Amino acid sequence: MEELRILSPTAILGYGFPLDSFKEGLKRTPHVIAVDAGSTDPGPHYLGAGVSFTNRGAVKRDLEFLLEAALSRKIPLLIGTAGGSGGQPHLQRDIGIIQEIARERGLHFRLAVIHAEVDREKVRESLRLDKVFPLGPAKPMCEEDLEAAERIVGQMGVEPLIGALDAGAEVVLAGRAYDPAVFAASAIRCGFKPGPAIHLGKILECGAIAASPGSGSDCLLGRLAPGFFEVEPLNRERRCTVSSVAAHTLYEKADPVLLPGPGGCLNLKEARFEQVGDNRVRVTGSKFIPSDPYCVKLEGVRKAGYRTISIAGCRDPIMVKEIDCVINSVKERVRDNFSRGNDFFLDFKLYGRDGVMGNFERKKGADCHELGILIEAVAETQDLADTICGFARSTMLHCSYPGRVATAGNLAFPYSPSDFRGGEVYRFSIYHLMEVADPFELFPLELISI
């Protein structure tokens, strides 16, 4: 095959895309439509709670156009990390949406569902054989982590997706997947080298974010040919430039040269970016280095408790100056009243000073005339979280501090009631690599006639 064209409609299924851009992409006669549907960026809650961070109505809107476009042109549609996190409840939600659209529009096709939720007994067996390793700063896994995990998913590579296409699937819905995999699978299946295919997938995974001005809610087209690939936006308002495409290559990477993934590592040391048109960039030199053994990333979460928050503002210049004294005083009062027999976490974020960066804030001691204060309590029960947050809020409201003149409340509350239940809180407890005998081991394939 001399050229493979891949249409990426949006950064995440449900983020939307302009129809004009999508139609422009279809005019380029793509061989495959692929879209990422999830991420760990929104945090561990969605994996643990089994819910999606993408709105069902928005996902259905996108899928209606994608399904009809792919099926009418007899080209495959691949969707990765279904439902936002790629676990079993996330897959079931998106299967339901696809079936609903098919009923409403009279569509008939073969759907492949690739499951990614991992049996903890399989992980336990690998752990006992010393085939599970911590990723990055994570601690070594212990069996208690497995017992406490609410849900564990594995991050599949291109192989299970290729297997689904080989099985005759017209639409592929995958659980948790390596972001570039749904874009690279068809290319590798057609004989293109993994290096350029995966690098192209890395660029396409976020739609038009790789263009200038960037957008995660717009389309991007990738062309793969022997020895290079090209990307171009499909909206006249955007351009792909060397800077924009190279910048997205560095997106979410700890190392500017190496990008690890399932079964190996993308090496970009010799990658070159060239402007070959007003809005088109060509990339050469991308290489993929297979790993031995083949490893899959595991993601698991455990419940950390329940959260309650309160939002307030302060504009008293004396209190703003003495805010650390106030917070220390409030924390001491809370400890004195509730530390016996209770396990809880209390935190204050100060927006206007260091609410975003926290201890990493470089502008220490910067003057500010007002503060946004977020009070957060996390405890083993919702009632205890309510109690800790409410007590901290009322104590801060009337807390004394050096130089105080007024005797009324210190805080301004934008909402009544002032406290909000955040519900269950999860944290990532498993972020590890596991050796597997083959790339299909953790990812069973199910074929459904729709």
Q: Write out pLDDT tens, residues 297-323.
A: 999 999 999 999 999 999 999 999 999
- Sorting pLDDT into bands at 50, 70 and 90, what band is 138? confident
Nearest CA to 19 among 75, 62, 73? 62
pLDDT of residue 254: 85
Strand (E) positions, 269-293? Answer: 272-277, 280-284, 287-290
Token pair in block for residue 260:
């690890």
pLDDT at 389 over 90: yes
412 DSSP 8-state letter: B
431 or 253: whose pLDDT is higher? 431
Nearest CA to 107 among 68, 66, 69? 68
274 DSSP 8-state letter: E
Those residues with Cβ within 8 angstroms of residue 134's Cβ, 6 or more apart along the chain or in another chain: 140, 141, 431, 432, 433
Q: What is the pLDDT of residues 32-88, one digit of tens each?
A: 999 999 999 999 999 999 999 999 999 999 999 999 999 999 999 999 999 999 999
- pTM equals 0.93
Token pair in block for residue 392:
């901290």
56 DSSP 8-state letter: H
Q: What is the mean pLDDT of residues 253-282?
A: 94
Nearest CA to 279 among 210, 217, 204, 325? 210
pLDDT at 365 over 80: no
Classify the C-alpha dihedral 308-313-317-318 as positive or negative.
negative
Token pair in block for residue 100:
């609903």
Residue 72: how many other CB atoms lie within 10 Å:
10
Distances (CA, A) of 423 to 115, 148, 420: 28, 18, 9
Range in 129-143, 175-189, 204-218, 397-411 the model is least confident about = 397-411
